[in-house]
A and B are shown apart, each in its own frame.
Chain A
Amino acid sequence: MPEGLFGLNPWLDGLIRLLLIVGLMTVVAMGLIYIERKVLGRFHARVGPQRTGPFGLLQSVADALKLIGKEDLRPRNADPWTFEFGPYMVFIPIFLGFVVQPFMAGFNVRVLDLGILYFVAVSSVSIVGWVMAGWGSDNRYAMIGGMRAAAQAISYELPFVLSLLSVSMLTGTLNINQIVEGQAVVPNIVWQPLAFVIFFIAALAELNRPPFDIPVGESEVVGGPFVEYSGIRWSMFFLGEYASLFIMSVLISALFLGGYVWPFGTELGVGFQLVLTVIKAALLIFLIIWVRASVPRLRIDQLMGYAWKILLPLSLAQVLINGFVLTYHLPMPVLTVVGFGGIFLLSWLTERAIRKPRAARASAIALQSEAAS
């Protein structure tokens, strides 16, 4: 990356990049909202938005205008500072995560040598915003939602980071662009299938997407921390949610699917690289929407148990195996075999956790109720 874009002075250059982020992310998020509504509509055996503009393309614009026009309410007993700054605390870290996203070779906002570390650091800040929103709203649903969000983020951060770690062990760098370029021959998913699966699951939890949408659980806590927000502040949460969906998909595609490179030659034009990235990210986004349309929500204890008892040990094992293979220079296909074995183990453990005998569970609950009364 040259010092300044178009040879401008660094401040102006920074400003341009900042505007680029904000503009691009807003457009992308609005596009994603439209796409999700359309795709979900198809999953639901209905058509989705179709009245606003051709194919309903202007639906997001209409929604945005409506939200801007709405009254910005604040409950009388809400804590003004935490309530009003909650949305920003959610929104800004997500935008900061955009800085290191690789779309094309030599064109992202900044290429950081510690890109992964930076991303993990900023993205986990947004949870503070969730707790602020939950606490500041002076609403019990919101508070339960905020606490759930905090518990969930803390649990899933660990498998998330550990599977990131196993990828960077393989390439020996924390620089996302270098990780992408290291996959020119074979994408990382071939060597690290288990890490990919764990990372995908943890990413769903980080994004609060179903089946991990417990903090916002529509049928229990009615939107969780967002329940008291309206108008532009609410739309900020919404925008942040979709922006982070996009960022996370680009990140997964960069780390595991080879981002802007592919195995059939390295001499790619900038436009083609962008298309590759977008296609890979779009596949992941479609997968995430598909999951949303078809699975129920987990319960909070099941969610935590799954992270701590199943995902965390397996991702630790993956890091350990990577270490063995790299230290003793074992052939790389060992990793693939072990990884697929790990996926089977993961499925088996999941199945076993679910198929607990019902009688045992019922009697445990009976004991619990006795203790309660």
Chain B
Amino acid sequence: MVTESAHEFETQDLLLNVGPQHPSTHGVFRMVMQVDGEVVRDIIPYIGYLHRGAEKLCETMDYRQGIGFMDRTEYLAAMNAELSYVMAVEKLAELEVPDRAQWIRMILVELNRLASHLMFMGAFGIDVGVFGTPFIYAWREREAIIDLFEEISGDRMMYAYLRPGGLAWDVPTNFVARTREVLTAVRQGIADFDGLLTKNEIFVARTQGIGYISAADAIDFGMSGPSIRASGVPLDVRREEPYLKYDEIKWDVITEQDGDVYARYLCRLGEMHESVKIVEQCLERLQPGAIMPEKMPRMLRTPPGEVYIRTEAPRGEFGVYMVSKGGNRPYRLKVRSACLSNLQALKHMSVGQYVADAIIVLGSIDIVLSEVDR
């Protein structure tokens, strides 16, 4: 008799806990997947394992001390995070940043974008399942960039190099030549990734059509950065509200139309080419000059007011909301994390697909947990 067999064969879904200690969660992210065989039915994300109260701590410190906390908030793109913070302070204190400092800042944030995207390439390669090769390739070129940053700022990860008003000190005299060397290395690195992953048949089969999100949905989730540009939305703060000197040089906003994991990968690859172009133009325009405004007070105090500054970090819009009630420290600081907003779309993108797909979808939105949890 087969009348009621459909009911008898109903099986229970499996709850699969992924993280906080798992090789593919890129930090201490935890998600509980409801799995039917190999198919993901539901995802419940848990965040907060890396919450340190960085925003609250910044309120207890003066403006210069807060820079260090921005480094730790976004440790893979510390320059970009610092930039948002110091720009917010500058706007509050109405400081005028000298040209040279602006050009150098632009070079540094674009180089840091390159370093961050290289990190994404490497980690994503491992998520897709290549044994280590892309990771080491990525780190080879990232190392060149980090070395340059170390020569400039004295640190490999927590630079604390930007200051409200300009830079902590001027760059070394061989900065231009060294940066050109780094760019040569990075160009080679991008070519290597093209050869290793972009055209690889298994990579294409694994990533195309996976983790699809439409432009409308991406906007609804408040995504930003390469993750939304891969869905065909040309949203780039550098183009929408040009800061630094982005309106004076030629570069393109990279968009892809397909909105899948492969498109997000291609988008980042294209952005690396663009960053190289931007840095080259900046190097040509770089002139000697001052790096700090002439009249800087010994202790920076801001008039009362509030300000929201957003910049385009590698992962999307990194915003800093700052309230001042006078004095030398912010009254309230809030960081708008691109990763947190992008992460909201994870469930939307991965339900109905395989467990392995959910992993690469998580990899493709490139989260940094210290930025999500702050």
Contacts and interface: CB of A to CB of B under 8 A. Distances in A.
B204 interface: yes
A301 B24 CA distance: 21
A296 B206 contact: yes
B14 A45 contact: no
B356 A372 contact: no
Interface in A346-360: 350-351, 353-356, 358, 360
A370 B203 CA distance: 26
Given A144-B16, A219-B127, A358-B258, A350 B354 contact: no
B90 to A, nearest CB: 42
Contact of A299 (B126, B197, B356): B356
Contacts of B212: 362, 365-366
B133 interface: yes
Given A218-B23, A354-B204, A369 B352 contact: yes
B354 A361 contact: no
A373 B351 contact: yes
A210 B203 CA distance: 13
Given A222-B22, A297-B128, A361-B208, A211 B202 contact: yes
B202 A40 contact: no
B260 interface: yes
A213 B196 contact: no
Contact of A222 (B23, B200, B203, B258): B23
Given A210-B131, A365-B210, A371 B352 contact: yes
A40 B132 CA distance: 9
Given A219-B24, A366-B212, A294 B359 contact: no
A140 B37 CA distance: 11
Given A301-B354, A362-B209, A217 B131 contact: no
Contacts of B39: 368, 372
Nearest to A306: B205
A369 B351 contact: yes
B200 A297 contact: no
Given A44-B133, A222-B23, A296 B356 contact: no
Most buried by A among B35, B38, B126, B128: B38
A184 interface: no
Interface of B is mostly: mixed
B110 to A, nearest CB: 25
B209 A140 contact: no
A38 interface: no
A299 B206 contact: yes
A88 interface: no
Contacts of A221: 355
Nearest to B351: A369
Interface residues of B, number: 48
Contacts of A292: 131
A302 interface: yes
A300 B356 contact: yes
B180 to A, nearest CB: 22
B196 A294 contact: yes
Interface residues of A, number: 49
A297 B129 contact: yes
A63 interface: no
B136 A46 contact: yes
A296 B359 CA distance: 14
Contacts of B321: none
Most buried by B among A144, A365, A366: A365
Interface string A14-58: 000000000000000000000000001001111000000000000
Given A45-B140, A365-B209, A300 B129 contact: no
Nearest to A360: B209
Interface string B310-344: 00000000000000000000000000000000000
Interface string A263-304: 000000000000000000000000000001111111111100
A214 B202 CA distance: 13
Contacts of B128: 219, 296-297
B240 interface: no
B281 interface: no
B136 to A, nearest CB: 4
A140 B126 contact: no
Contacts of B357: 299
A300 B354 contact: yes
Given A219-B23, A220-B356, A296 B210 contact: no
A365 B353 contact: yes
Given A300-B356, A362-B260, A365-B212, A372 B351 contact: yes
B201 interface: yes
Contacts of B23: 218-219, 222
Interface of A: 40, 43-46, 140-141, 144, 148, 210-211, 213-214, 217-222, 292-302, 350-351, 353-356, 358, 360-362, 364-366, 368-373
Given A301-B354, A368-B353, A369-B353, 5 more contacts: A214-B356, A296-B128, A299-B354, A361-B208, A362-B260
20 contacts: A40-B131, A44-B137, A148-B38, A211-B129, A218-B129, A220-B24, A293-B131, A294-B200, A297-B129, A297-B130, A297-B202, A297-B356, A299-B206, A360-B209, A364-B209, A365-B209, A365-B353, A368-B352, A372-B39, A372-B351
Interface of B: 14-17, 22-24, 35, 38-39, 41, 125-133, 136-137, 140, 196-197, 200-206, 208-210, 212, 258-260, 262, 351-357, 359
* A-B CB proximity, top 10 nearest: A297-B129, A369-B352, A361-B209, A296-B128, A368-B352, A44-B136, A219-B24, A362-B212, A372-B352, A296-B129
